[in-house]
Structure 1
Amino acid sequence: MHTAELISYFKIKTVIGTLPTQVTSIHDDSREVEPGSMFICTKGYTVDGHDFYQEAIQKGASVIVSEKYLEVDQDRTALVIVNDTVKATAHISNLFYQSPSNKLDVIGVTGTNGKTTVTTLIHSLLKTSGKQAALLGTNGLQINDAIYKTSNTTCNMLTNQKLLAEAVDNKIDHMVMEVSSHGLAQGRLWGINFDVVVFTNLSQDHLDYHHSMEQYGYVKGLLFAQLGQDLINDKYIVLNQDDQWFSVYNKWSPFEVISYGIKEEANFKAEAIEYLQDKTKFVLKSPQGTFPVETSLLGEFNIYNILAAMAALFAQGLNVEQMVKDLKTISSIKGRMERLNIDTPVTLYLDYAHTPDAIEKAIHSVLPFKTNKLIFLAGTAGERDRDKRALMAEKASIADYVVLTVQDPRHEDPNQIVKEMEKGMKHEHYACVADRNEAIRHAVQVSEPGDIIIFAGNGHEDYQIIANKKIPHSEFETIKTQCFKKYPINNIVQ
């Protein structure tokens, strides 16, 4: 890509030194710089790229883009000064990767809970219908059978454009993306041309970053507001009619809104719901007719997730009746109220629930089938929204016995985290066990045949963040080991 073309958009800029004809790559992390590349000095939440420009030069950067004058050897490196390097990154990366989102149908899903399940359902239904679809989110990037790890639910701008371009190169026609509030607030989605955007729900989370529920809600709404005003291209918004933010987001864009829900009248509505131990049944009212639905996904929250996915794909032109048929082939989502295939006299579920609302919904999804005790393991993270800790324990108190623990303590004292959770407990049948492996052991040890145990907070993740390191941790393997010790006469299989 010609360097002059990459910076041609900017009316306000100063160029010091001679621009190279081309750059080979673009980076905002000095550790990734290679000879002939462009390094953009962006200010992040905790790090300022301007502090690392010398390292980028040492590694061979031929162009530095910054917001201020920096000392450079003008014979070797050109300096381009612009007003805002974050906005510059959006324009430069989109140009460098040749606007990949314009060559894809891009579906974005945001909300407090349900993003991973909804995007996984959309991805699965697209593939079943014969579409070439990729999935980008909490579990990384999935293209065909390959999975690539990513650092965040929503990657930074450069990574997003690079991954979208990789999808185009692999002849993908649909990209399904989880969209986090942090990603929206920090502009990580700038430059991505979404075709369909979906809202799941809004409940308390991330208030350490957003400070208030109102600010959190407005940040989520950026996904809908940023669809733009160009009515030439077909774009659609899918909103949860039962959520209080429906009426707010409904006014933020000129594009058609497709609604879904259970309680209020909606374009996609679930009625006559039956909650069974191994499946859920309901009647779907849709713009294309009324259909009986059967799914292995459990609980009311998963009905919302299914409705959201179907509404999004209806907007993309998929047939509702066929989606209902294809839904039967989709098993539980990994780490999302996933019933574990471990042969014990105790029923085991693995879930990602890490908000008060998600904990309450997870518990209510199994209460109809409780014949003995319900044991709930609740875990929360260090250096994150402290105000929700006691609320999480309060919601977990619905269970007969609660184990309060930690996942990802980071630099915070795990025992202090558990003490803050403990303040919300509503009964005395609980234990505070800061070490997660020990907490799992305790939950299994206090169980009896006929009990239900929900292990919440960690879900599918295969690590714990302690200090600034990711320590390997398999929730499933730990549960399996402890079940074997408690119930050795049973054969344990995955």
Structure 2
Amino acid sequence: MNLNDLLSDFFYIKEQNIFIQNMCINSKKILNNCLFVALKGHLIDGQDYINDAILNGAVAVLTYNTDRYNNYVTYINLIPVIHIKNLQYHLSSIAHKLYKSKNSNIPIIGVTGTNGKTSVTNILMQWLYLLKQNPTICSTIGNGFYNSLEYTNNTTDSTIDIQYNINKFIQKKSNVIILEVSSHGIKQHRVRNINFTTAIFTNLSRDHLDYHKDMRDYANTKWSFISQYSINNVIMNIDDDIGLQWSKQLPNAILVTTKQNLINKQKKYFLVKNINFKTDTTIIQFETTWGAGKISINLLGYFNVINIILSLTTLLSLNYTLEDLLYTSYKLKPVYGRFNIIQKNNCPKIIIDYAHTPDALKSILQTIKFYYKSTIWCIFGCGGERDQGKRSLMGIIASSLANYIIITSDNPRNENINDIIKDIIQQCSFKKKYMSIIIDRKEAIQYALTKAHKQDVILIAGKGHEQYQIIGHKHYVYSDYDIVNDYYKQK
């Protein structure tokens, strides 16, 4: 597309023949005929990388404008650098214009909330695949088609990557797209110009307060996605207090709950009547607008009950039959990095989970205590340069629900790991003999595997699917799964 055509709503430059085929925000990943976009981020300013992008072959640059009134153009080595007012807001429409697919009238589902986004997104993908559909996802654990996900570092990608991926998925014949929608993605307008047909709200609890500063801003950001994006089909978890409150402002919301007293049968609803938690399965008896039934799943814990019923309700609302959904449900598998159990003969049970918020850690530990009447080891840390206020809360939760805790590193970034650990343990009620501080995460896991008895349970929390450890600005190859598997291979 010609650059002037692409930017016709914002600016016109004298150069007539600059052809744009790609857009990117990473100066190291300049593609053919690439428009480099230099945004001002939370921690990094893209304008610092304009020269690098030009050296790497960018044919034009789009950046933000601090001038109060006018858009304008400057030049670096004859390469136009176009300054646009409110670029972050408008970028999605520019990317949409470049990558827009001609056949884009397919269901697009957005999943938002603090915890459960990845599980719901991936359960939906599995279920749709079992129903002979061709779903794609943009998720914390990867983007793409079932069994061929490409790894990603963010819950919600840049608006450029999102628009590019949606176009690619449609061209490759995907007929349902599911996106995790983070608060950062909403706040930074990354999910504008996407024709969401369904929104799912999982829950709301403390997270990302390093970015949002307070819970009100965090909640308002999530609410803006549900209330302002003209989404007709909204699935709400009203077991969550915020979900219940918001549902009262949405006349057409579909209510999902395990509590009889919350249901309003004047609306579409999904009500859990009974839950039977077994050793390796969960049986849910339910009543819905679409009929009643019973579902048996190979997923454990109350949090997975919520994930399943949100997914089931969504598919019912999209006109998949209850009969087909129940028939395929027994094939659903745990989501990678979410309550994954590793069990070897005569060895402690290992559970790897992404839990990195106070509410998620509490939920996982309570689930372990419910299923396994064993000694619990909890290995976790907190991310550097992230919400400091949640650290002591997670320390309190771990010390109250686990028998032994090991505080370790979890993406310290540029923050001193000892300062992070001090924040975590400042209100812990543990006796020293039951708490260890082992900064090296590999050593922390190996220590627990060595010391725990075969009947014990070891929770390794915080990283889940992640395949890296961030120290400073560098991503080092690392996986909790690899550490556990390597340990057992050497035994």
Q: TM-score, normalised by structure 2?
A: 0.90
- Contact map agreement 1:461 1:474 (CA 8 A) in 2: yes
Say if 2:423 is the partner of 1:420: yes
- Structure-2 change in CA distance of 1:273 and 1:285 (3 Å): same
Distance 1:284 1:478 in 2: 41
Distance 1:62 1:463 in 2: 33
- State the Cα distance separating 1:81 from its structure 2 match: 4.3
- State the Cα distance separating 1:48 from its structure 2 match: 3.1
Match of 1:177 in 2: 179
Distance 1:409 1:73 in 2: 37
- State the Cα distance separating 1:16 from its structure 2 match: 3.8
SS of residue paired to 1:32: coil
SS of residue paired to 1:221: helix
Match of 1:437 in 2: 442
Alignment of structure 1 residues 193-342 onto 2, 5 Å: 193-228=195-230, 235-250=232-247, 256-263=252-259, 264-266=261-263, 267-342=269-344
Distance 2:427 2:326 in 1: 41
- Contact map agreement 2:104 2:170 (CA 8 A) in 1: no
Distance 1:252 1:86 in 2: 29
Distance 1:53 1:347 in 2: 50
Distance 1:128 1:422 in 2: 45
Match of 1:126 in 2: 128
Match of 1:53 among 50, 54, 61: 50
Moved more, 418-427 or 17-26: 17-26
- Contact map agreement 1:103 1:173 (CA 8 A) in 2: no
- Contact map agreement 1:3 1:22 (CA 8 A) in 2: yes
- Structure-2 change in CA distance of 1:438 and 1:84 (3 Å): same
- State the Cα distance separating 1:77 from its structure 2 match: 4.1
SS of residue paired to 1:271: strand
Distance 1:60 1:470 in 2: 25
Distance 1:173 1:135 in 2: 11
Match of 1:468 among 460, 468, 473: 473
Distance 2:411 2:83 in 1: 39
Question: Which structure 1 segments of 5+ residues have no match?
Answer: 229-233, 489-494
Q: Deviations over 1:160-205 (max 9, x none)?
A: 1111111011111111111111111111111111111111111111
| Residue identity in the other structure for 1:400 | N
Distance 1:79 1:383 in 2: 32
- Structure-2 change in CA distance of 1:101 and 1:458 (3 Å): farther
- Structure-2 change in CA distance of 1:101 and 1:178 (3 Å): farther
- Structure-2 change in CA distance of 1:376 and 1:36 (3 Å): closer
Alignment of structure 1 residues 306-385 onto 2, 5 Å: 306-385=308-387
- Structure-2 change in CA distance of 1:290 and 1:390 (3 Å): same
SS of residue paired to 2:262: coil
Distance 1:359 1:316 in 2: 33
Match of 2:28 in 1: 31
Distance 2:178 2:33 in 1: 33
Say if 2:152 is the partner of 1:156: no
Match of 2:62 in 1: 65
- Contact map agreement 1:19 1:63 (CA 8 A) in 2: no
| Residue identity in the other structure for 1:317 | N
- Contact map agreement 1:224 1:252 (CA 8 A) in 2: no
Match of 1:231 in 2: none
Question: Which structure 2 segments of 5+ residues have no match?
Answer: 66-70, 264-268
Match of 2:457 among 427, 443, 452: 452
- Contact map agreement 2:13 2:73 (CA 8 A) in 1: no
Match of 2:19 in 1: 22
Q: Deviations over 1:311-368 (max 9, x none)?
A: 2212211122322232211122221111114333422211111111111111111223
- State the Cα distance separating 1:247 from its structure 2 match: 4.4
Moved more, 109-118 or 345-354: 345-354
Match of 1:399 among 398, 402, 417: 402
- Contact map agreement 1:196 1:315 (CA 8 A) in 2: no
| Residue identity in the other structure for 2:325 | M
Distance 1:335 1:79 in 2: 42
Moved more, 192-201 or 320-329: 320-329
- Contact map agreement 1:238 1:311 (CA 8 A) in 2: yes
Distance 1:390 1:463 in 2: 24
| Residue identity in the other structure for 2:179 | M
Q: Deviations over 1:410-446 (max 9, x none)?
A: 1222232222211232332222222211211222233
Paired residues, number = 476
Match of 1:492 in 2: none
Aligned CA-pair RMSD:
2.3
Distance 1:251 1:61 in 2: 49
- State the Cα distance separating 1:484 from its structure 2 match: 6.2
SS of residue paired to 1:309: helix
SS of residue paired to 2:286: strand
| Residue identity in the other structure for 1:261 | T
Q: Deviations over 1:48-90 (max 9, x none)?
A: 333443444444444433435453279x544544322223321
Moved more, 445-454 or 350-359: 445-454
- Structure-2 change in CA distance of 1:182 and 1:399 (3 Å): same
- State the Cα distance separating 1:101 from its structure 2 match: 8.5
Aligned-pair identity in percent equals 29
- Structure-2 change in CA distance of 1:387 and 1:307 (3 Å): same
Q: Deviations over 1:16-53 (max 9, x none)?
A: 43232632222333333345433333222233333443
| Residue identity in the other structure for 2:47 | H
Distance 1:248 1:9 in 2: 39
Q: Deviations over 1:203-230 (max 9, x none)?
A: 11111111111111111112212323xx
Match of 1:7 in 2: 7
- State the Cα distance separating 1:8 from its structure 2 match: 2.5
- Structure-2 change in CA distance of 1:272 and 1:293 (3 Å): same
Moved more, 39-48 or 147-156: 39-48
| Residue identity in the other structure for 2:358 | P
Distance 1:405 1:101 in 2: 48
- Structure-2 change in CA distance of 1:300 and 1:6 (3 Å): same
| Residue identity in the other structure for 1:146 | S
- Contact map agreement 1:40 1:85 (CA 8 A) in 2: no
Distance 2:3 2:360 in 1: 48
- Contact map agreement 2:125 2:146 (CA 8 A) in 1: no
Match of 1:98 among 97, 100, 103: 100
Distance 1:444 1:101 in 2: 52
